[in-house]
Amino acid sequence: MSTNLPAPGRIRTGGLNPDQLFHLGSAVAGSFALTWMLFERILPVTSPLGFAVSWYALFLTMYAVISATTLDRVGVVDRVVGALVATAGAVLVAVLAGIVVFITIRGKGALAHTNFYTDTLALVGPDDGLTKGGIYSAMIGTFEQVALAILISVPVGIATAVYLNEVGGRLARTVRTVVHAMSAIPTIVAGLFIYAMFIIGFDLPHWLPLLGDRVSLPRSGFAASLALSVSMIPVVITTAEVVLRLVPNGLREASLALGTSRWQTVKGVVLPTARPGLITAVLLGIARVIGETSPVLLVAGYTNALNYDPFHGPQVSLPLFVFNLARQPFDVAIARAFGAAVVLLVLVVIFFATARILGGRAPGQVSARKQRRLSARLARRQLVEGNLL
């Protein structure tokens, strides 16, 4: 076979072709020029928003008209819809990037100091600069409250999803409706519920002497995690139920046909198979509550001091910290609020990345540790057999 043949050039089938690029460029430039003329030379008013909207509308029109010179109607519609959809995507990314960049710039002053991460606002006065005080107590509060909310919501949520999907029956439909209704509860109502139920408390009937005569919690991190759980539980249930439904029925039958009980099948086959999806369910639940302020507002209390104990005394969390400091009339406080918002964002990202790495293994993959253990066992067996022969 001859080796001197040049490698055949590959045909590019995707992306913009020169023709389309030219049309796009001319439409952008032409519409910009026309809009500029309208707003700067003809119309008596000028407004950045009006400029942007007119520019985009003119761009779409021009793009369609220019495309029509080479394409038929179907082709033109295809291009215009393509442009619209691409714009939607770009706007979304721009908004997200805008938020991140904006709060990072505003919080930059606070983020640059190490004391911001290791110190609390106790004993910090309004005249103190950014070199004093920080968000350590709020970070601890967020960790503890979210961890407690996970401890409450995940078992309840997954157990309910298992009930809905694996047990079912007539009652399941009612439970499902209640769960959907629960996910629509405004978070401030969840906060009010915990406030009215546990902070104000209620008298226990006298025939229950063992628990004391009154249920009443102080404002605390634990009360906050209860309020967060009200929002988190329905998210976990709804997502977990969908995930469990995706487990092939053949696996359940295979397990039952081996003579296992229903619970053994759920524990040994259904839940492990659904594990990556269940982790997503938990993540969505966390994402729902980690930045919540309103449920926490009424029941967590507020303090500048560091409080490790979520069960006693007020405990601040990052969203609550942001909410309180952003309202203060001092530049330093507002910078701290933005700094805390950046930290909250970063925490969410770290949270997601870790959970993805820990639990994101696709079903069917056996962990490296287990692989090694099994091959070691096999090697030993073969050695023994070899010696016997």
Partner 1 sequence: MTDTLTTPLPPLPTSAGTPATLSARNVGAWFGDHQVLEGVDLEMKAGQVTALIGPSGCGKSTFLRILNRMHELVPGASLSGEVLIDGDDIYAPTMPPIESRRRIGMVFQKANPFPTMSIHDNVLSGLKLAGKGFGKGRAAEAGDLVEHSLRSAGLWDEVRNRLGAPGGSLSGGQQQRLCIARALAVSPDVLLMDEPCSALDPTSTRRVEETIAAIAHEVTVVIVTHNMQQAQRVSDRCAFFLAAENQPGHIVEQGSTADIFENPRDERTSDYVNGRFG
- Spatial CB neighbours of 382, under 8 Å, sequence gap ≥ 6: none
Query: Which of 213/253 has CB closer to partner 1?
Result: 253
Q: Report the candidate in 235, 262, 261 with the shortest Cα–Cα distance to residue 165.
A: 262
Counting contacts by CB under 8 A, is residue 108 touching partner 1? no
Taking the C-alpha atoms of residue 3 and residue 54, their distance in angstroms, rounded to an integer, is: 59
Segment contacting partner 1 by CB under 8 A, of 4-12, 31-39, 259-267, 313-321 = 259-267
SS3 category, 175: helix
- Spatial CB neighbours of 225, under 8 Å, sequence gap ≥ 6: 144, 145, 146, 147, 148, 149, 152, 310
Q: Compute the least distance from the CB of residue 364 to partner 1, in Å.
A: 4
Q: Which of 209, 259, 329, 386 binds partner 1 (CB under 8 A)?
A: 259
Counting contacts by CB under 8 A, is residue 378 touching partner 1? yes
Give residues 266-325 in contact with partner 1 (rule: CB under 8 A): 267-269, 272-273, 275
Counting contacts by CB under 8 A, is residue 21 touching partner 1? no
Q: Which of 44, 212, 250, 329 binds partner 1 (CB under 8 A)?
A: 250
Taking the C-alpha atoms of residue 387 and residue 381, their distance in angstroms, rounded to an integer, is: 10
Question: How many residues interact with partner 1 (rule CB under 8 A)?
Answer: 33
Q: Which of 171, 254, 346, 353 binds partner 1 (CB under 8 A)?
A: 254
Question: Looking at this protein, which amino acid is placed at residue 123?
Answer: L
Q: Which of 142, 265, 280, 293 binds partner 1 (CB under 8 A)?
A: 265
Q: Compute the least distance from the CB of residue 242 to partner 1, in Å.
A: 18
Question: Looking at this protein, which amino acid is placed at residue 34?
Answer: L
Counting contacts by CB under 8 A, is residue 248 touching partner 1? yes
Eight-state DSSP code of residue 11: P
Q: Report the candidate in 204, 228, 230 with the shortest Cα–Cα distance to residue 215.
A: 204
Give residues 328-367 in contact with partner 1 (rule: CB under 8 A): 363-366
Counting contacts by CB under 8 A, is residue 387 touching partner 1? no
Eight-state DSSP code of residue 199: I
Give residues 182-201 in contact with partner 1 (rule: CB under 8 A): none
Taking the C-alpha atoms of residue 127 and residue 330, their distance in angstroms, rounded to an integer, is: 9
List of residues contacting partner 1 (CB under 8 A): 248, 250-251, 253-261, 264-265, 267-269, 272-273, 275, 363-366, 370-375, 377-378, 381
